[in-house]
Chains A and B, each alone.
Chain A
Amino acid sequence: MHPLVRDLYKRIIIVGKDYPAGLEHVRRKAKEAFMKNKDLTDEVEIKRAVARGRWYVRNELTAVIQLKKYRTIKDRYY
């Protein structure tokens, strides 16, 4: 496995632990997305896909986590 891909998967798992829908959901979705791209061999293509994955972790996953946290704390503590 490409080391960048493994690093991306580790990032997804670490951030997925805080995901509201649960780690299993994140792991399943991540596996589907990784399996769709498993036949990439060109270095540039792999890097592009990894960059997209990293953007997703950094922006989408963390945004959902932060939003859910803010909303629950706001509901509990005004």
Chain B
Amino acid sequence: WPSLLFDLYPPPPQAKRMRALVAVKRVVDYAVKIRVKGDKSGVETAGVKMSMNPFCEIAVEEAVRLKEKKVVEEIVAVSIGPKQSADTLRTALAMGADRAVHINHDGILQPLAVAKLLKAVVDKESPDVVFVGKQAIDDDANQTGQMLAGLLGWPQGTFCSKLEIADKKATVEREVDGGIETVSMGLPAVITADLRLNDPRYATLPNIMKAKK
């Protein structure tokens, strides 16, 4: 009779630990009026309000929603920048990420360098899906996601406005100039978030306090 009991209550299927990596960027806040520095060498960034790139917020929100749907089990947020980028990572943690990786770097970073650094993180964390925002509102490069996919040799779903992940395949609805294009790809893949992917949550106060620890 022990084998009958096993058949009545079969053990739950082992869910493979899907891990999502989200790369976020600390940029000048979207509402700040940009001014050029006095010596015309660049944009004034000292002392202005900085926050997470809006497209990166959408990317984090998508990863968190997948976690709530139990498709993804763990979310790792990564950011490259000066030590204040840790605040951006705290916002990502408050929104629902589990771990955060901060690569400390002062100075300008071009997208290819960022993509190479992210490739090193991907090799270390081995996620199943990488979320990034489609572009950063400070340099508007729109290159990092694509370069990362190229360096890794992974398929990419860019300008994603709808995402479905089901048994090792991702179906992405991309916003292209002619309308919406539906692509499907196998995991692991790089997904670049566009504006209409979702409505990111505002990280609530208790979460921010918890994330500070």
Contact = CB atoms under 8 A, between A and B. Distances in A.
Contacts of B199: 66, 70
Contacts of A76: 137
Given A62-B202, A74-B195, A77-B195, A69 B208 contact: no
Contacts of B137: 73, 76
B30 A72 contact: yes
18 contacts: A10-B205, A11-B205, A14-B205, A14-B208, A15-B202, A18-B51, A20-B31, A65-B202, A66-B199, A66-B200, A66-B202, A69-B30, A70-B199, A72-B31, A73-B195, A74-B195, A77-B195, A78-B195
3 smallest beta-carbon distances between A and B, as pairs: A62-B202, A11-B205, A73-B54
Interface of B: 30-31, 51, 54, 135, 137, 195, 199-200, 202, 204-205, 208
Nearest to B202: A62
A77 B200 CA distance: 17
A58 interface: yes
Interface string A38-59: 0000000000000000000010
B202 A73 contact: no
A69 B54 contact: yes
Contacts of A74: 195
Contacts of A14: 205, 208
B179 to A, nearest CB: 13
Contacts of B205: 10-11, 14-15
Given A14-B205, A14-B208, A74-B195, 16 more contacts: A11-B205, A18-B51, A20-B31, A58-B204, A62-B202, A66-B202, A68-B31, A69-B30, A69-B31, A72-B30, A73-B54, A73-B137, A73-B195, A76-B137, A77-B135, A77-B195
Contacts of A70: 195, 199
B204 A73 contact: no
Contacts of A11: 205
A73 B30 contact: yes
Output the residue of A58, A73, A74, A78 with the most chain B CB within 10 A.
A73
Nearest to A54: B205
B208 to A, nearest CB: 7
